Protein backbone atom coordinates (compact mmCIF):
# COMPACT_ATOMS: atom_id res chain seq x y z
CA UNK A 1 0.00 0.00 0.00
CA UNK A 2 1.07 3.56 -0.69
CA UNK A 3 -0.64 6.76 0.40
CA UNK A 4 0.33 10.09 -1.17
CA UNK A 5 -0.86 13.70 -0.92
CA UNK A 6 -3.24 14.63 -3.74
CA UNK A 7 -3.61 18.33 -4.53
CA UNK A 8 -6.61 19.54 -6.52
CA UNK A 9 -6.29 22.91 -8.25
CA UNK A 10 -8.74 24.88 -10.38
CA UNK A 11 -6.52 25.83 -13.30
CA UNK A 12 -3.39 26.75 -11.30
CA UNK A 13 -1.59 23.40 -11.12
CA UNK A 14 0.88 24.22 -13.89
CA UNK A 15 1.99 27.61 -12.48
CA UNK A 16 2.14 26.11 -8.97
CA UNK A 17 4.38 23.34 -10.28
CA UNK A 18 6.59 25.93 -12.01
CA UNK A 19 6.96 27.86 -8.73
CA UNK A 20 7.81 24.71 -6.80
CA UNK A 21 10.40 23.67 -9.41
CA UNK A 22 12.02 27.08 -8.98
CA UNK A 23 11.97 26.79 -5.19
CA UNK A 24 13.07 23.14 -5.10
CA UNK A 25 15.52 22.32 -7.93
CA UNK A 26 15.60 18.70 -6.70
CA UNK A 27 11.85 18.27 -7.41
CA UNK A 28 11.30 15.44 -9.90
CA UNK A 29 8.38 15.35 -12.29
CA UNK A 30 7.52 11.65 -12.59
CA UNK A 31 4.45 12.05 -14.79
CA UNK A 32 2.82 15.02 -16.48
CA UNK A 33 -0.29 14.80 -18.64
CA UNK A 34 -2.03 17.88 -19.94
CA UNK A 35 -5.49 18.23 -21.39
CA UNK A 36 -5.00 18.44 -25.17
CA UNK A 37 -8.23 20.20 -26.08
CA UNK A 38 -11.42 21.70 -24.74
CA UNK A 39 -11.83 24.36 -22.06
CA UNK A 40 -9.00 22.85 -19.99
CA UNK A 41 -6.49 22.63 -22.86
CA UNK A 42 -2.98 23.03 -21.46
CA UNK A 43 -4.04 22.45 -17.86
CA UNK A 44 -2.75 19.47 -15.91
CA UNK A 45 -4.91 16.37 -16.22
CA UNK A 46 -2.58 14.27 -14.03
CA UNK A 47 0.85 14.77 -12.53
CA UNK A 48 3.07 12.92 -10.11
CA UNK A 49 6.07 14.58 -8.52
CA UNK A 50 8.68 13.57 -5.98
CA UNK A 51 9.95 16.06 -3.44
CA UNK A 52 11.98 15.34 -0.34
CA UNK A 53 11.59 11.60 -0.83
CA UNK A 54 7.79 11.66 -0.98
CA UNK A 55 5.52 11.39 -3.96
CA UNK A 56 2.61 13.76 -4.58
CA UNK A 57 -0.18 13.84 -7.14
CA UNK A 58 -1.80 16.97 -8.50
CA UNK A 59 -4.26 18.01 -11.16
CA UNK A 60 -6.66 20.72 -12.28
CA UNK A 61 -10.23 19.84 -11.39
CA UNK A 62 -12.66 20.02 -14.30
CA UNK A 63 -15.65 21.05 -12.17
CA UNK A 64 -15.47 24.31 -10.27
CA UNK A 65 -15.84 23.74 -6.53
CA UNK A 66 -16.41 26.01 -3.56
CA UNK A 67 -13.36 24.89 -1.56
CA UNK A 68 -9.62 25.34 -1.78
CA UNK A 69 -6.54 24.63 0.29
CA UNK A 70 -6.43 25.35 4.02
CA UNK A 71 -3.50 25.77 6.45
CA UNK A 72 -4.91 22.81 8.39
CA UNK A 73 -2.89 20.74 5.92
CA UNK A 74 0.65 21.88 5.19
CA UNK A 75 4.00 20.65 3.96
CA UNK A 76 6.71 20.72 6.63
CA UNK A 77 10.18 21.28 5.18
CA UNK A 78 13.37 20.98 7.23
CA UNK A 79 15.83 23.37 5.58
CA UNK A 80 19.59 22.91 5.29
CA UNK A 81 20.56 26.33 6.66
CA UNK A 82 19.23 29.83 7.27
CA UNK A 83 19.91 30.98 3.70
CA UNK A 84 17.91 28.00 2.38
CA UNK A 85 14.96 28.78 4.66
CA UNK A 86 14.95 32.47 3.78
CA UNK A 87 15.22 31.72 0.03
CA UNK A 88 12.26 29.33 0.19
CA UNK A 89 10.23 31.77 2.29
CA UNK A 90 10.84 34.55 -0.23
CA UNK A 91 10.06 32.43 -3.30
CA UNK A 92 7.08 30.55 -1.92
CA UNK A 93 5.68 33.50 0.02
CA UNK A 94 5.61 35.96 -2.89
CA UNK A 95 1.97 36.84 -3.48
CA UNK A 96 0.86 34.48 -0.70
CA UNK A 97 0.30 34.92 2.99
CA UNK A 98 2.33 34.71 6.19
CA UNK A 99 0.84 32.93 9.18
CA UNK A 100 4.07 33.03 11.21
CA UNK A 101 6.93 35.27 10.04
CA UNK A 102 10.52 34.04 10.04
CA UNK A 103 11.63 33.94 13.67
CA UNK A 104 12.93 31.74 16.49
CA UNK A 105 9.84 30.43 18.26
CA UNK A 106 11.78 28.26 20.70
CA UNK A 107 11.06 24.87 19.11
CA UNK A 108 13.74 25.29 16.42
CA UNK A 109 16.43 27.78 15.45
CA UNK A 110 14.28 29.42 12.77
CA UNK A 111 10.75 28.84 11.48
CA UNK A 112 8.11 30.35 9.23
CA UNK A 113 4.64 29.25 8.14
CA UNK A 114 3.44 30.64 4.84
CA UNK A 115 0.93 29.99 2.08
CA UNK A 116 2.08 30.31 -1.51
CA UNK A 117 0.01 32.33 -3.97
CA UNK A 118 -1.95 29.19 -4.84
CA UNK A 119 -3.03 28.65 -1.23
CA UNK A 120 -0.73 25.70 -0.49
CA UNK A 121 0.61 25.94 3.07
CA UNK A 122 4.33 25.48 3.86
CA UNK A 123 6.03 25.22 7.26
CA UNK A 124 9.71 25.96 6.77
CA UNK A 125 11.93 24.89 9.64
CA UNK A 126 15.60 25.13 10.56
CA UNK A 127 16.10 22.43 13.22
Q: Please, what's the largest Cα pairwise distance for the chain? A: 52
90, pLDDT greater than 90: yes
Dihedral sign of CA atoms 20, 26, 32, 36 in order: positive
Quote the percentage of the chain above a pLDDT of 70: 100
pTM: 0.93
**Whether residue 80 is found in the same domain as residue 109:** yes
Question: Pairing mode, if any, of strands 28-34 and 44-51?
Answer: antiparallel
Q: Residue 62: pLDDT above 90?
A: no
The CATH code of the domain that includes 28 is 3.30.720.100
Number of domains composing the chain: 2
Same domain, 120 and 80: yes
Indicate the pLDDT class of residue 38, thresholds 50, 70 and 90: confident
Amino acid sequence: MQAVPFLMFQGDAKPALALWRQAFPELEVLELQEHAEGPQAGQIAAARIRLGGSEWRLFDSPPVHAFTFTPATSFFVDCDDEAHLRRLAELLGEGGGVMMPVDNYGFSRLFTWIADRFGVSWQLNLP
